[in-house]
Structure 1
Amino acid sequence: MLFSSEQQLNNDEQQQFWQSVTQSTLEKNDVSLAYAYIQHSDSSKAIVISSGRVESYLKYKELMFDLYQHGYSIYILDHRGQGLSSRITTNPHQGHIDKFQTYIDDLNDFVELIVNPNKHKNLYLVGHSMGGTIGTLYMEQYPTTFNAAVFSAPMYGIKLPFNKTFIRSLAGLLDTCNDKQPHKQPNYVLGGTDYEPVEFEKNHLTNSPNRYQQILDVFNQNPSIQLGSPTNRWLLEAMDAADRATKAAALSIKPIMVLQALDDEIVDNAAQNRAENIHCQIRRIANCQHEVFIEADDARNQALRTLVSFFDKY
């Protein structure tokens, strides 16, 4: 099973592929949701990608290319408040959401209005990090949509500097988005900042300097997709959603494969372990940090082989 190499990123073949990808927007009330897709002429199977926090589909060009080569039509949505979708805060760098359910509702609209009209015979879901939380809760609410799902480092728990109860209490006290202050703007979590690029030597996302630099270049070349720290409201919503997603994954009636990065410093692998059962399997990947799909070739190829083989069963 062949996949792209970190030594040949953004090569001529990938660039030509991207010229065939359609980029558009889904208008929803006052929000514009950006998305991209490409239909495979020789296949009736498709993958919907739910990306992680701070991400845009522009970051997923290589993954989309690889999955397309294995016979899938690909659809990917930029969640509201990030990527090329509308910002919902005065400061466009704030990672914010009013209710986590809003992400799930947006994904459902995307599936119903953009994906389903193309009547794919087999439909699969891929989610990374926060996108895995969204995807797991989506499958709980709409269990008949997808044949199966693969979640890369899903946010079933967040690695926190202090006790979770303390962090939730602190975020609740600091959160300006409450009933007592209905017109006040959201505020960053304690110590939160606007977008600041981190040099490779200090990153906790990937072991691949080439893929990491490519992602930095994407954010540098497209300033509008830059996103900083989350708000207190996002943190509160995300912590509760992560707890719900862990339970939903454990009770899923559809097959789920979790790609667990054994060196993850962002999400809590112990929470993923609590969801493991016959329907929610875990593939543990060594020498792998949080960004499974932009990792060094050995770890990334292992993850992609697992993904393709898993979907082939369903």
Structure 2
Amino acid sequence: METAPFFAEIADAPEGGRAHWLVAEDGVRIRIGHWVPADAAGTVLLFPGRTEYIEKYGRAARDFATRGFAMAAVDWRGQGLADRLAGDVLSGHVDFFGDYQRDVRAVMAAAEALDLPRPWYVLGHSMGGCIALRAVQDGLPVAGAIFSAPMWGIRMAQALRPLAWSLGWGSRRLRLDHVYAPGTQPEPYVLSEPFESNKLTRDRDMYQYMIDQTRAQPELGLGGPSLRWLHEALIECRALMRMAPPKLPGLTLLGTAEDIVDPTDIHRMMARWAKASDRGHLALLDGARHEVMMDDAETRRTVFDMIARFMQAPEAFDLDRPAA
């Protein structure tokens, strides 16, 4: 694999991180980054959310390394340093949501080639949670699935849903796929939204971490989604919610102040998962916002301790029985 750039100076990650270029089966170039501490007990395959990039999870890699786990993360097509898919590089765009599964297959081939420590666990955040759930349903070879505020539904006013659907269909007919979705703009969220009103984190330092990264490496930044992305996302979320829960252990972490993805769909899915196999667990984090892995220090400690405990024994995990 060809070495790819990695901005260690902004990642605040453990030593030894490396990045590589991958080429998906349709020729789109994406990027993977990984950290492997000595004697790692397994690997977290981190599927980031929309707008995100490898370096944003440098501190998460550090948290996993201190708990004995390797971590790999990916720049999905259309974001980070991966190939951008629209003429406007700040537009979050994808032709079909299923195309992300091409990226997943490239990541899994790379995990094999890099001989990342097993067992493997997928951790999907936001849009990455949507991609991860589809991959798990398709037989992703992991020992367990972890989700952070997964995008199984998109938070919007009920009155706007018919409009979102109609704009999606209309954009295809009128060839306006790349137009920004209503209410979004061609500017990274963290550069336009003050900390006081942001929906991502309660932690000022973590918000500044995101701001500093985007300012230091503007090519990592991404603006709002295109109409095509929004329509594809709505279709995929609806399809996933109609499926039976996966047949493997799952843990979902959700802040009670979530305001980006739809918590109702998360509660519905996890209730069905728990009922179907008693191996679906939903952990609610009081007051946390969308980025539960980047919220305040106490929340982050709780999140990473819980994930590590799940990975140590996914089949026997009990949400109500913390480690001794």
Name the residue aligned to 2:168: 172
| Residues 119 and 220 (structure 1), Cα distance of their counterparts in 2 relative to 1, 3 Å cut | closer
Equivalent pair of 1:128/1:153 in contact (CA under 8 Å): yes
Name the residue aligned to 1:3: none
Name the residue aligned to 2:281: 281
Name the residue aligned to 1:259: 253
Q: SS in structure 2 opposite 1:23? A: strand
TM-score, scaled relative to structure 2: 0.85
- The correspondence for 2:206, drawn from 207, 211, 218, is 211
Name the residue aligned to 1:136: 133
Equivalent pair of 2:252/2:283 in contact (CA under 8 Å): yes
Name the residue aligned to 2:48: 51
The letter for the 2-side match of 1:193 is Q
Deviates more, 1:295-304 or 1:115-124: 115-124
- RMSD of aligned C-alpha atoms? 2.0
Distance in 1 (alpha carbons) for counterparts of 2:13 and 2:144: 30
- The correspondence for 2:231, drawn from 225, 228, 236, is 236
| Residues 244 and 303 (structure 1), Cα distance of their counterparts in 2 relative to 1, 3 Å cut | farther
Q: SS in structure 2 opposite 1:25? A: strand
Name the residue aligned to 2:152: 156
Distance in 1 (alpha carbons) for counterparts of 2:229 and 2:247: 28
Distance in 1 (alpha carbons) for counterparts of 2:168 and 2:144: 36
Distance in 2 (alpha carbons) for counterparts of 1:191 and 1:260: 24
Q: SS in structure 2 opposite 1:17? A: coil
Q: What do residues 154-183 of structure 1 show as CA deviations (whole Å, max 9, x unaligned)?
A: 0111111343641333322542x45x64xx
Equivalent pair of 2:241/2:265 in contact (CA under 8 Å): yes
Deviation at 1:262, TM superposition (A): 0.7
Distance in 1 (alpha carbons) for counterparts of 2:182 and 2:138: 33
Distance in 2 (alpha carbons) for counterparts of 1:260 and 1:247: 21
For structure 2, which runs of at least 5 residues remain unmatched after alignment?
1-8, 315-324
Distance in 2 (alpha carbons) for counterparts of 1:305 and 1:237: 34
The answer to whether structure 1 residue 308 and structure 2 residue 308 are counterparts is: yes
The letter for the 2-side match of 1:269 is P
The letter for the 1-side match of 2:296 is A
Deviates more, 1:158-167 or 1:230-239: 158-167
| Residues 119 and 206 (structure 1), Cα distance of their counterparts in 2 relative to 1, 3 Å cut | closer
Distance in 1 (alpha carbons) for counterparts of 2:163 and 2:203: 32
| Residues 284 and 30 (structure 1), Cα distance of their counterparts in 2 relative to 1, 3 Å cut | same
- The correspondence for 1:226, drawn from 221, 227, 245, is 221
| Residues 245 and 68 (structure 1), Cα distance of their counterparts in 2 relative to 1, 3 Å cut | farther
**Aligned positions, number:** 294
The answer to whether structure 1 residue 201 and structure 2 residue 196 are counterparts is: yes
The letter for the 2-side match of 1:91 is D
- The correspondence for 1:85, drawn from 82, 85, 89, is 82
Deviation at 1:247, TM superposition (A): 4.1
Deviation at 1:301, TM superposition (A): 1.5
Distance in 2 (alpha carbons) for counterparts of 1:156 and 1:49: 17
Deviation at 1:115, TM superposition (A): 0.2
The answer to whether structure 1 residue 187 and structure 2 residue 187 are counterparts is: no
| Residues 140 and 35 (structure 1), Cα distance of their counterparts in 2 relative to 1, 3 Å cut | same
Equivalent pair of 1:50/1:135 in contact (CA under 8 Å): yes
Q: What do residues 31-78 of structure 1 show as CA deviations (whole Å, max 9, x unaligned)?
A: 220110122331351110000000001100000111112111211111
| Residues 161 and 252 (structure 1), Cα distance of their counterparts in 2 relative to 1, 3 Å cut | same
The letter for the 1-side match of 2:142 is F
The letter for the 1-side match of 2:18 is T
State the percentage of identical aligned residues. 24
Distance in 1 (alpha carbons) for counterparts of 2:254 and 2:60: 17
Deviation at 1:242, TM superposition (A): 1.7
For structure 1, which runs of at least 5 residues remain unmatched after alignment?
1-11
The letter for the 2-side match of 1:234 is W
Q: SS in structure 1 opposite 2:93? A: coil
Q: What do residues 118-156 of structure 1 show as CA deviations (whole Å, max 9, x unaligned)?
A: 16331111110000010011000024x000011000011
- The correspondence for 2:105, drawn from 89, 103, 108, is 108
TM-score, scaled relative to structure 1: 0.88
Distance in 1 (alpha carbons) for counterparts of 2:133 and 2:235: 13
